[in-house]
Structure 1
Amino acid sequence: MAIEVFNRYENKYLMDTKAFYNLYNRLTEYMEPDAHNKDNKFYSISNLYFDTEHHTLIRNSLSKPKYKEKLRVRAYGVPAPDAKVYLELKKKVFGLVNKRRTALKLQEAYEFVRTGKPPAFREGMNKQVIAEIEYFLSRYELEPMTYLAYDRIAMFAKGNRDLRISFDTNIRHRRYDLKLEAGDHGEQLMEKGQWLMEVKAEKTVPVWLARLLSEHEMYRTSFSKYGNEYKKSIRNSIHTDNTNKDIQLQQERELIIL
């Protein structure tokens, strides 16, 4: 059964392709690949984030409060309309990430968020998580806001499933076709060849990992996929507005000349 409740600290690192391979090859001495990464192949993850009309959740998150939360639907690959997905409520309190999720059918997840009413319970659902998400939905009027997908390689420490490291690349996003089943197309969020590494641990990282990160000059950074997508969309919106204003001014000048 998939783990449905996570409590852990997450540290993030950005790197290029050369640094990824150098570090990944060393990590294989201490870690083993995720079950999804058979034969060292990537697997893709697609997410649909929900927010209010005025982006309340992500704007609050970017202000770096002591407590923040977000809601998303997650699938592995591009799901069929009746496929199993995960509805996830992710919170961060004083640096500790708490993620709670339950398995639902894709259309059930959409309807749950749209109406605030949970689907009829059946085997495989997590009652406690559904109740928490129901309460969360009672506090906000949410709508699909952005789509994010990426290709991932993940690893677990040998003999210690509490330590997990993931590498994400080809992070793509869109603010149209806001359905997971619509495909995993979108614009690139980072420059080509960039990787995002996340180190996830319930406690402190082991000494061997701290030494390895230091040896490869890996330094922690703050990087939220949804946060960076939001900031990029705002910049694009401002640029579009300015361009439209320039076009309007030019058209008005041409009318005056005529």
Structure 2
Amino acid sequence: MALIRPGDSEPPGSEGAVPSARPAPGRSDDQAGHALRAPSKLHAFNRYEIKYLMPSSAVPALRKELASRLDVDSHGVGGGYGVWSVYYDTRDLRFYWEKIEGLRFRRKLRVRHYGDRLTVNDHSTVFVEIKQRVNRVTQKRRVALPYHLARDLLDRRVMVEHEPTQRAFLEEVLDLLCRLDLRPVAMTGYQREAFVGRGAEAGLRVTVDRRVRGRDRDFHLGADAENRLIVPARLAVVEMKANERVPYWLTDLAAGLSMSVVRISKYCQGVEAFGRVPRSIFHVSDDEPAGAAVPATALSEA
């Protein structure tokens, strides 16, 4: 199955989208795959996403196939990197329910850090981000800020120093916080491996997330607080993200490894794992099977 981009104009919020530039001959350039992680001005992009669950034991087979066709994200050489996020929501979990109910337009607000959470301090770079879904397209807008400024904005609800290009976005964030009375609800963290396309597939990105953990308190990103698994350790979450279409070879690979397409949200997993709401039909629990068995040949070749 491939996802085809409609031929109409881009939805609102696509201004400043990262171009899918072709790398120079002989040079691996993954800028298009993770350019939003550069601490610069406001960034935005639109993508299609497919999510899968697979047994963690099958990840080596997937990694081998991906490495033969894609480049390893330069930020994740040597085992990947940590991704830590604090999600904001209303008292009645409006953003959670928008996801569960599958609204055609929905969004969530979060602050995110890449790397070792125990190194986070006031001056660490974090990303304040609005991620939203418009029909089948995922849109993400974010700005990079020092953590102390991000906390001023999100927790103290005051406008912070900014560049002119960031003003409209920061005002939107502040409006959401004040109008909906948002507060931190859940924190998630996981170890991510990422692969990015090259050449004609420069906009393609595949991520493999394992050891998905979370907590429902102590929301400072650098807090030395206990986290617990919110997705069973035997499972990995795989996301395929593309600007226009997911290549057929990639979806064929997923089928060959018996990967299961799922509707999963790490934020929703966290909310349900800590008993904030009854578990939905989309919840992945410890007593559920991993899905169809991975072919023995795929495992033996890993």
Relative to the length of structure 1, the TM-score reads 0.84
Contact 1:12 1:198 in 2 (8 A): yes
1:61 to 89, 92, 99: 99
Aligned length: 236
Matched, 1:28 2:53: no
Contact 2:47 2:137 in 1 (8 A): yes
1:14 to 53, 56, 72: 53
Rounded Cα–Cα distance in structure 2 between residues aligned with 1:20 and 1:213? 11
Residue in 2 aligned with 1:37?
Answer: 76
Aligned-pair distance for 1:115? 4.0
Q: Which amino acid aligns with 1:60?
A: E
Aligned residue for 1:203, secondary structure, equals coil
Higher helix residue share: 1
Rounded Cα–Cα distance in structure 2 between residues aligned with 1:99 and 1:107? 22
Aligned-pair distance for 1:235? 6.9
Rounded Cα–Cα distance in structure 2 between residues aligned with 1:17 and 1:237? 27
Aligned residue for 1:176, secondary structure, equals coil
Rounded Cα–Cα distance in structure 2 between residues aligned with 1:33 and 1:91? 27
Aligned-pair distance for 1:101? 0.3
| 1:102-154 CA-partner distances (Å, limit 9, x unpaired) | 0111121112123433202248x733432332333343101111111110000
Aligned-pair distance for 1:81? 2.2
Unaligned 5+ residue runs, structure 2? Answer: 1-30, 37-42, 280-302
Q: 1:82/1:196 Cα in 2 relative to 1: closer, same or farther (>3 Å)?
A: same
Superposition map of 1:91-102 within 5 A: 91-102=132-143
Residue in 2 aligned with 1:165?
Answer: 206
Q: 1:211/1:60 Cα in 2 relative to 1: closer, same or farther (>3 Å)?
A: closer
Residue in 2 aligned with 1:210?
Answer: 251
2:110 to 57, 69, 72: 72
Rounded Cα–Cα distance in structure 2 between residues aligned with 1:210 and 1:172? 27
Aligned residue for 1:234, secondary structure, equals coil
Q: Which amino acid aligns with 1:18?
A: S
Aligned residue for 1:181, secondary structure, equals coil
Rounded Cα–Cα distance in structure 1 between residues aligned with 2:276 and 2:158? 35
Q: Which amino acid aligns with 1:68?
A: R
Aligned-pair distance for 1:230? 1.2
Name the larger-Rg structure: 1
Aligned-pair distance for 1:190? 1.6
| 1:62-81 CA-partner distances (Å, limit 9, x unpaired) | 11111111100000131112
Contact 1:172 1:185 in 2 (8 A): no
Rounded Cα–Cα distance in structure 1 between residues aligned with 2:239 and 2:91? 30
Residue in 1 aligned with 2:229?
Answer: 188
Q: 1:64/1:57 Cα in 2 relative to 1: closer, same or farther (>3 Å)?
A: same
Residue in 2 aligned with 1:251?
Answer: none
1:152 to 187, 192, 217: 192
Contact 1:46 1:184 in 2 (8 A): no
1:119 to 153, 157, 160: 160
Bigger Cα displacement from structure 2, 204-213 vs 21-30: 204-213
Aligned residue for 1:180, secondary structure, equals coil
Q: Which amino acid aligns with 1:42?
A: G
Residue in 1 aligned with 2:130?
Answer: 89
Q: CA-atom RMSD, angstroms?
A: 2.2
Aligned-pair distance for 1:14? 0.5
Relative to the length of structure 2, the TM-score reads 0.73
Aligned residue for 1:126, secondary structure, equals helix
Rounded Cα–Cα distance in structure 2 between residues aligned with 1:235 and 1:145? 9
Residue in 2 aligned with 1:140?
Answer: 180
Aligned-pair distance for 1:183? 3.5
